Structures are given as structure tokens and as C-alpha cells.
């Protein structure tokens, strides 16, 4: 409250102003980072369910502010979407990832894409340019999309997905089982892979029906000949249940956290020489 003298005060709702100020500050810091090409990327290994070998990696954006504070993607991705910076962020992550992944010619590369990027009519040609510039085999790239866009903007989504497939890029449906995507949409959009959401894996520990739900989900996908990755595997018990359900690819802290490009290169060289 501000003292105006003679006992009169005015109350300000400070918390609102502080929030708005913090948001716009964070936004300009993010903009500065992107303009400096300063977004970094970590890579989480994808594991073949049968052999246990690393078959690919998923690229995950990482933002460290100048003071060293790490901001979660769950914060800065929505911020970039609201502030009109997601195209820039997404393409930066893609270029960095393609560049790094040229050192791992036998691994696939998964890159996340925001539903808003699919709305950009230039998206597919931008992806194609980035692939060309990195001299990358498009068949090694999988673009991961979440189901939101399939419901809110099915026509735009279909155009972008068809375009990606035409240039040889694979498309995965991310976070499957967390929302509303139906088996029907799997057929219509022609996904090359499904990534089952971590919540279905976590449920294995809590709910004795969860195993059956997971098995039914994977069986449906397999009936459509779509391979399935399970995310967020943290324990051996989860890995066993997920293998039994018929997933062909595993991802989670049990195998590896997201690591630097250099760490992937070390892993890769070890596997090649061993
Ligand atoms: P996502 O695409 O579902 O990525 C998987 C998230 O789960 C990652 O979180 C990863 O670090 C985390 N994770 C992997 N294994 C485990 C596990 O065993 N246990 C637990 N608790 N978590 C695990 P991260 O890196 O914080 O990313 C969060 C989300 O932010 C991503 O979810 C994705 O939706 C989004 N995101 C990240 N990078 C990008 C990007 O470059 N572009 C876009 N559009 N979105 C991104
Ligand atoms: Ca993903
Ligand atoms: Ca996911
Ligand atoms: Ca997620």
C-alpha cells in the first residue's frame, strides 16, 4: 500500500504487476538467447526392446539463462508459443540436432515440433532446407507431434504431415494415451510410430488394470502395423511389463537421462568399436 499522507492509502495488486513483469522479462531473455543462436539441445537414447542396443535419440531443448539458471521446457516452450518465437526455436533445435546427429550415422533422430509450427505454410520447406544444409538422410529423422493439433486443426495438420512424409521424413504421434487421440486418427494421419505417454507407464505401479490398458493400446497400434515406443521407463519392473506389452522401443531414465551430444558420440563410438 502506498501512503498518500493524511492517513490515505491506495492498495496495489503487486502480485499481478510482478508476474506480468517477470513474464515479459523472461520473454525478452528468451528472445535474446534465440537471436544469439543460444538454445542448446540434449539427446535421450532410444533403446531397442529386444537387443537393448541404442537405436536412436530424441532431441530435447535446453535453456540456461545467463545467470546459469535452467528453465524447464514446460515453461519456455509455451512461452515461445505465446510470444510468436516457436518457429525460430523449433528450427534452431532442428538445425543443431541435425548437425550433431551427422556424427551418428546409424542412429535415428527424433525432434519435437509444436502444433503451431505445423500451421506455418513454410514449415515443410524449411525442414527440407535444414536437412539439405546438413546433408542428412531424411529417413533418419522422425518429427514428433502431439495430438492437440489433430483435433484443433486437422486439415493443416494433415497437409504438414503429408508434406513431411513426401520428403522422406517420418512422423510420430507423441504422448499417446494422455488425451483424446483415437485409433481412427492414427489411421487417417498415417503415423510411422506412436510414443505412449509416460503416464501409462507410471500407472503400471499404481493400478492393476494399467498393464491391460497398455497391452490393448499397443495391440491396436500393432494391428495397424504402427510400431510403439514407451516413454518414461524408470524401473526394471516397468521395462519388463512394457516389453511384454509388445513395444519395440524403450525410453527413460532407467536406460539414460538426456545427455550432451559429446556423450552420445562417446556412446556411439564405444558401440561401433565393441
Ligand atoms: P516429451 O516430448 O514427451 O519428452 C519427454 C520428456 O520426458 C522430457 O522432458 C524427458 O527429459 C522426460 N523423461 C524422459 N525419460 C523420463 C523418465 O524416465 N522419467 C521422467 N520423469 N521423465 C522422463 P523435458 O526435456 O523436460 O521436456 C518436456 C517437454 O517439453 C517434452 O515432452 C516436449 O513436449 C517439450 N519439448 C522439449 N524440447 C522441445 C522442442 O525442441 N520443441 C518442442 N516443441 N517441444 C519440446
Ligand atoms: Ca517427444
Ligand atoms: Ca512424449
Ligand atoms: Ca510430454
Tens of pLDDT along 49-86? Answer: 999 999 999 999 999 987 789 999 999 999 999 999 99
Mean pLDDT value across the chain: 92
Ligand 4: distance of its center to the CA of 175 in Å?
Answer: 6
Q: HSE, CB side, 13 Å, CA atoms: give it for residue 54.
A: 24
Distant-in-sequence, close-in-space partners of 270: CB < 8 Å, separation ≥ 6: none
Ligand 2: distance of its center to the CA of 58 in Å?
Answer: 7
Measured from the Cα of 42, ligand 1's closest atom is: 25
pTM of the predicted model, to two decimals?
A: 0.93
- In the chain, helix, strand, coil percent, each to 5? 50, 20, 30
pLDDT of 42 higher than 60: yes
Ligand 2: distance of its center to the CA of 12 in Å?
Answer: 42
Residue-wise pLDDT tens digits, 214-246:
999 999 999 999 999 999 999 999 999 999 999
What is the per-residue pLDDT for 6?
A: 60
Place of cell 550432451: 260
Whether the CB of 242 sits within 6 Å of ligand 1: no
Contact assessment for residue 200 and residue 209, using Cβ atoms and an 8 Å cutoff: no
| 96 — pLDDT class (breaks 50, 70, 90) | very high
pLDDT of 41 higher than 90: yes
Residue-wise pLDDT tens digits, 100-143:
999 999 999 999 999 999 999 999 999 999 999 999 999 999 99
Task: Name residue 170's beta-bridge partners.
Answer: 142
What is the per-residue pLDDT for 8?
A: 61
Residue 34, judged by CB atoms within 10 A of its CB (0-12, 13-18, 19+), counts as middle
Go through the chain and tell me how many residues it has.
274
Backbone angles phi, psi at 14, to 5 degrees: -60, -35
Amino acid at each position: 500500500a502506498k501512503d498518500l499522507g493524511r492517513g490515505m492509502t491506495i492498495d496495489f495488486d503487486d502480485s499481478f504487476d510482478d508476474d506480468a513483469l517477470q513474464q515479459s522479462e523472461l520473454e525478452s531473455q528468451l528472445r535474446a538467447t534465440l537471436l544469439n543462436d543460444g538454445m542448446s539441445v540434449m539427446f535421450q537414447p532410444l533403446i531397442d526392446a529386444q537387443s537393448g542396443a541404442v537405436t536412436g535419440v530424441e532431441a530435447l531443448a535446453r535453456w540456461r539463462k545467463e545467470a546459469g539458471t535452467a528453465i524447464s521446457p514446460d515453461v519456455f516452450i509455451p512461452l515461445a508459443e505465446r510470444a510468436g518465437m516457436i518457429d525460430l526455436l523449433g528450427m534452431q533445435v532442428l538445425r543443431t540436432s541435425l548437425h550433431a546427429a551427422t556424427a551418428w550415422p546409424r542412429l535415428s533422430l527424433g525432434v519435437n515440433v509444436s502444433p503451431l509450427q505445423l500451421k506455418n505454410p513454410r514449415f515443410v520447406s524449411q525442414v527440407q532446407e535444414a536437412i539439405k544444409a546438413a546433408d542428412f538422410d531424411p529417413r533418419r529423422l522422425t518429427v514428433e507431434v502431439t495430438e492437440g493439433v489433430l483435433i484443433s486443426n486437422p486439415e493443416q495438420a494433415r497437409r504438414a504431415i503429408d508434406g513431411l512424409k513426401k520428403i522422406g521424413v517420418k512422423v510420430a504421434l507423441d504422448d499417446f494415451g494422455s488425451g483424446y487421440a483415437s485409433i481412427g486418427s492414427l489411421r487417417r494421419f498415417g503415423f510411422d510410430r506412436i510414443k505412449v505417454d509416460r503416464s501409462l507407464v507410471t500407472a503400471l505401479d499404481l493400478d492393476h488394470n494399467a498393464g491391460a490398458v497398455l497391452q490393448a493400446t499397443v495391440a491396436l497400434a500393432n494391428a495397424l502395423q504402427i510400431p510403439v515406443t514407451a516413454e518414461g521407463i524408470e524401473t526394471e519392473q516397468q521395462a519388463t511389463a512394457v516389453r511384454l506389452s509388445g513395444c519395440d522401443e524403450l525410453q527413460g531414465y532407467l536406460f539414460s537421462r538426456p545427455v550432451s551430444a559429446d556423450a552420445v558420440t562417446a556412446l556411439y563410438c564405444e558401440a561401433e568399436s565393441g
